[in-house]
Structure 1
Amino acid sequence: MTETWRERARDVAHRRRAFWIWSPVFTGVGALAIAGGLMADQAWLRWAGILCGGAMALWGFVYGTAIYIRTVDEQERDANLWSCYAGMCAYLLLFTLQFGAEVLGRPVPHADLGVFLIVMTVVLGVFAWKRFR
């Protein structure tokens, strides 16, 4: 029995909803379990939290990636590729500026969080511009 285009569209919509709901839930609960395990006083509780949380976070990533790969369309893939390219260029620019300053004998004070925030702002900005314009 062949399925109609409406059934396929309904299936894709269902998988997208599952991706946006369950992937962050599993990953977030796993991250909270890891954090709880890191703050535990007893060694067995610490390792249980880290291992169970890591397994849940890994399942969230794998589950989300598998659904995302099956349901992504050309426009979203294009936006994702361009945003990753822009993020890599932003990081390369920041690294080159830092390296050039060190070669000239004027090291630039930097914070890893600042570099991360700049790169992620570029990535998210380009993704939003390409995807939603």
Structure 2
Amino acid sequence: MGFEKLTSKEKHFYLAKLENILISGKLFLKNDFALPDLAKETGIQLHTISYLVNSQINLHFKDYINLKRIAYFKEKVNDPEWKDFTAEKMILASGFKSRTTGYRAFIKHVGAAPSEYLKSCRAGYERPKGTRTIF
């Protein structure tokens, strides 16, 4: 079946499947993750995935994955296990291939550099008593 002939119900089913597999497996954390990888994981044809992401989510695949990475970064900002991570280390741990790629995506989608976002979110963060920063 061609992707242009998908029913509304099929589109919703495939999108839910994509989202579920992508999030539950945290596939976006792999820095070399690409569209063929998602096609292989889901069993959905590569062109169908591309069509769905472009037409239903209104994003290019790379932007879609980068938004997942940014959401993960934001989720981990005040995680005690990440409290000593620099913005660069957090960017890499969130699945971005390089510091530059992560910074570009962050500025494009958030409007600020990861380091700026990190500072603003951690400003009021207090470390639990009995812990210290390790240099």
State TM-score, norm by structure 2.
0.31
Greater percentage in helix? 1
Which of the two has higher C-alpha Rg?
Answer: 1
TM-score by length of structure 1 reads: 0.31
